[in-house]
Amino acid sequence: MSLTFGFYEDAGRTLPLASLAIKGGTATRIWVGTDGTAQAQAASGGSITLTANAVLPGVPASAIHLATSLSALASASASVDLGQVVSGMQAVWLLVDQSALADGEYSNVSLVTNPIYEG
């Protein structure tokens, strides 16, 4: 059985996130989660953690902030806890800290989770 957990541009799961381009200093919202018929859980039994990784030079992970709310974004780090169980869609906000980088659009960032399964 394949996982339904994925990344989307919208809460209705109609626009899968094919690529991630973040503009410096601009908050971006994406959606992560399952189709609602399954529950995603961390294989370790702990929380599902979403982490931003820089895949090419130019964007250090320390300059990326992830949060589950816009208000928490300013003090967030490059990882966000999605909880022990994700069922349905959940908003995630991303921000590249402009004080660490020049203005511009950055497409060399990837998002990964720790190992998960659905049940």
The Cα–Cα gap between 15 and 111 comes to 17
Q: Which residue type is seen at 15?
A: L
Q: Which residue type is seen at 113?
A: T
- Provide the pLDDT confidence category of residue 1 given band limits of 50, 70 and 90: low
Mean pLDDT of 56-73: 83
Is residue 48 over pLDDT 70? yes
What is the value of pTM for the model shown?
Answer: 0.86
Is residue 60 over pLDDT 80? no
Report the C-alpha dihedral over residues 34, 63, 115, 33, rounded to 10 degrees.
0
Mean pLDDT of 32-54: 92
The Cα–Cα gap between 88 and 91 comes to 10
- Provide the pLDDT confidence category of residue 56 given band limits of 50, 70 and 90: low
Instruction: Tell me what pLDDT residue 61 has.
Output: 75
Instruction: Tell me what pLDDT residue 14 has.
Output: 94
Mean pLDDT of 88-108: 78
